[in-house]
Amino acid sequence: WLRSLSGTARLVALTLVVLPFWVSILVRSYAWIVVLGNNGVVNRALLDLGLAGEPVAFLYNDLGVVIGTTNLLLPFLVLPLYAAMIRIDGRILQAAETLGASRWTVFRRIFFPLTVPALAAGMVLVFILTLGFYVTPAILGGGRVPMVANMLDMLINRLPRWELASAISIILLILTVLLHLLYVRLSRQAGN
């Protein structure tokens, strides 16, 4: 969709994608409490429209953490994908259409395969960032959603189990380095 826009519309859409980078992670996480809380914007709308009889529990569970994390990390996936998609020569797509391919066939057999390396690189990048995510799961999960960073905090600060925390940290570091190497390799493929 972003690729198909032109001029000012594309600039506005990209600004909306990048906008989360301009606001602190802490502020965005607390903003989700206002939006998703029992008396928040979403629950009020659901109750007013009659779609729910009582407030839906969006916070302090997996759903709240997924919504907040998606909001924070989506630009890290969209921007590499957009960069790969913008480099695809439109003449290739037009040639396929003039040879009788439907729009779905052009997408499935040409456009999507050309963006797979960027998609994979973006997914690896988002996964690496998610491994160390602490603030959003702590705030939106209320300490009830186990994430690696939150578990390490508990092992170090609440249960003095430094040996277990250090072992998990080493495994996390090795996994992150391996995933980073995969990301670099996929990024190079996306650049070709």
pLDDT at 191: 61
pLDDT tens per residue, range 63-87: 999 999 888 888 889 888 888 888 8
Q: How far is CA 163 from the centre of its chain?
A: 32
pLDDT at 25: 85
**Average pLDDT of 148-171?**
87
pLDDT at 167: 92
pLDDT tens per residue, range 89-113: 889 999 999 999 999 999 999 999 8
pTM: 0.75
Give yes or no for residue 37 having a pLDDT over 80: yes
**Average pLDDT of 127-139?**
85
pLDDT at 174: 92
Q: Half-sphere exposure of 79 toward its Cβ, with a 13 Å CA cutoff? A: 16
List the structure tokens of 53: 């009889």
> What's the CATH number for 7-191?
1.10.3720.10
pLDDT tens per residue, range 38-69: 888 999 999 999 898 898 899 999 999 999 98
The ranges assigned to domains in the chain are 7-191
The fraction of the chain above a pLDDT of 70, given in percent, is 98
Task: Decide: 85 and 13 in contact? Cβ < 8 Å.
Answer: no
**Average pLDDT of 152-181?**
87
Residue 82, sorted as left (phi over 0), alpha (psi -120 to 50) or beta, turns out to be alpha
Between 162-191 and 62-86, two packed helices, what is the crossing angle to 10 degrees? 30
Give yes or no for residue 170 having a pLDDT over 70: yes
Give yes or no for residue 190 having a pLDDT over 70: no
List the structure tokens of 170: 């080493």
